Amino acid sequence: MEIQVAKRLQHTEEYYFSKKLREIDEMNKAGAQVINLGIGSPDLPPHPEVIKVLSEQAAQNNTHGYQNYKGAPVLRQAMADWYARYYGVTLDSNTEILPLIGSKEGIVHICMTYLQEGDEVLIPNPGYPAYTSAVRVTGATPTPYALTLENNWLVDFEELEKRDLSNVKMMWINYPHMPTGALANKEFFEKVIAFGKKHNILICHDNPYSFILNDSPESILSVEGAKDVAIELNSLSKSSNMAGWRIGMLVANEARIGEILRFKSNMDSGMFLPMQLAAAKALSLDKSWYTQLNEEYAERRKKVFEIMDLLNCTYDLNQVGLFVWAQIPKGFKNSYELCNKILYDAKVFITPGGIFGTAGEQFIRISLCANNETLEKAIARIKANI
């Protein structure tokens, strides 16, 4: 018996990393011992106090039941306090914050809440592949907009203004940008908000990297009037080393929180309460936590720059976030060719920029989620085999 997948999945491929990691697993079974520098999964633990709260609360008898779809009040308040302390943004913890099971969940929730066939969505190229996948699942049409090195990977609003935007309902942006590490400032966010208001486009800002190797975290909601037209996603995955915990947040005005909750409440339940309480602890940590974290990443980044130099790649020393993005040298057709050579010859896995869109085909990305010892091993392998 043959059962066809739904139409909504016919143009949605399996995630690149899902397929590539299976291949690497087979290589490792054959003895390859591949060094994985591809994925941004923090290898460092959360703060000890965060783990302590989780352990203590999980040992209680009364913390294991279903939880409120809107999250525990103590977590929402911690999120509001965190936004006020680091972004200078005032949020009502009761009405303007929706905790998420990771911010990737929020991408789907937002798209499923607002999009349908006939709608168009502006998607960054290069950009996080999940934006395109989530839009396609709704039946809407993802419409790429190119980001370029020459424009510091920022949106070219003059180019967008030349387009027919009549069917565009939503726009995804992401700064600090993944995969390029480009920063945006408040002036840029003001332009984004003005663009959204002018064309009646919902602006969705995905903001999980703002604390990594960046001394000045920014939120799009710091712009006056941003809540009228913007939604922001944030996460504890990178900034608190809690990727596997799946804890994120969606911040927006009260009406949008209510609309998205209508979808979310039919799809999942509230998070395990001890995790919420531990997350609240993580959000209460002072700036020394981020300083310590970034000192470690800064040392790792030096090693990754070394790898890029060995590969004759060119890169921006000022990029931020959890990765290093670099342009490949002449002599390679595209990023896939270079990455496959490194994988098969040196047994080191790095990410081809082409998976983030056509504008990334001449670039590669290396994660900082490996300690200096591992990075030194990768350097030695590349020196010996490339």
pLDDT, mean of residues 334-360: 96
Q: How far is CA 328 from CA 101, 309, 342, in A?
A: 36, 10, 13
Q: Are residues 109 and 35 in the same domain?
A: no
Check: pTM over 0.85? Answer yes or no.
yes
Q: What is the pLDDT of residue 14?
A: 66
Q: How far is CA 228 from CA 87, 167, 198, in A?
A: 18, 19, 12
**How many alpha carbons fall within 13 Å on the CB side of residue 105?**
24
- What is the CATH classification number for the domain harbouring 346? 3.90.1150.10
Residue 54 lies in a domain: no
Q: Are residues 15 and 98 in the same domain?
A: no
Q: How far is CA 121 from CA 131, 138, 152, 167, 179, in A?
A: 9, 11, 22, 8, 20
Residue 104 lies in a domain: yes
Reported as a single tens digit per residue, the pLDDT across 124-164 is 999 999 999 999 999 999 999 999 999 999 999 999 999 99
The span from the CA of 271 to the CA of 74, in Å, is: 13
Reported as a single tens digit per residue, the pLDDT across 176-199 is 999 999 999 999 999 999 999 999
Per the document, the length of the chain is 386
Q: Are residues 82 and 131 in the same domain?
A: yes
Residue 53 lies in a domain: no
Q: Which of 226, 261, 284 is the last residue of a domain?
A: 284
User: With 0-12 CB in 10 A as exposed, 13-18 as middle and 19+ as buried, what is 285?
Assistant: middle
The span from the CA of 345 to the CA of 341, in Å, is: 6
The span from the CA of 384 to the CA of 50, in Å, is: 42
Closest by alpha carbon to 80, among 90, 69, 68, 70? 90
Residue 280 lies in a domain: yes
Residue 107 lies in a domain: yes
Q: How far is CA 15 from CA 44, 102, 383, in A?
A: 25, 17, 30
Closest by alpha carbon to 15, among 143, 120, 132? 132
Q: Are residues 140 and 230 in the same domain?
A: yes
Residue 200 lies in a domain: yes
* Count: domains in the chain: 2
pLDDT at 306 over 80: yes
- What is the CATH classification number for the domain harbouring 155? 3.40.640.10
Q: Are residues 180 and 80 in the same domain?
A: yes
Residue 52 lies in a domain: no
Torsion of CA 283, 285, 289, 293, to 10 degrees: -10
At residue 2 the predicted structure's pLDDT band, cuts being 50, 70 and 90, is: confident
Which stretch of 8-12, 223-227, 363-367 has the lowest confidence by average pLDDT? 8-12
Q: Are residues 352 and 322 in the same domain?
A: yes
Print the domain residue range for 200: 63-284
User: With 0-12 CB in 10 A as exposed, 13-18 as middle and 19+ as buried, what is 144?
Assistant: middle
Which residues on neighbouring strands pair with residue 99, listed in sequence order? Answer: 249
Residue indicated by tokens 């700064």: 175
Q: Which of 284, 316, 338 is the last residue of a domain?
A: 284
Q: Are residues 164 and 305 in the same domain?
A: no
Reported as a single tens digit per residue, the pLDDT across 51-107 is 999 999 999 999 999 999 999 999 999 999 999 999 999 999 999 999 999 999 999
pLDDT at 17 over 80: no
Residue indicated by tokens 């306090």: 81
Phi, psi of 83, deg, nearest 5: -65, -40
Closest by alpha carbon to 237, among 205, 204, 279? 279
Q: Are residues 246 and 342 in the same domain?
A: no
Q: Are residues 151 and 280 in the same domain?
A: yes
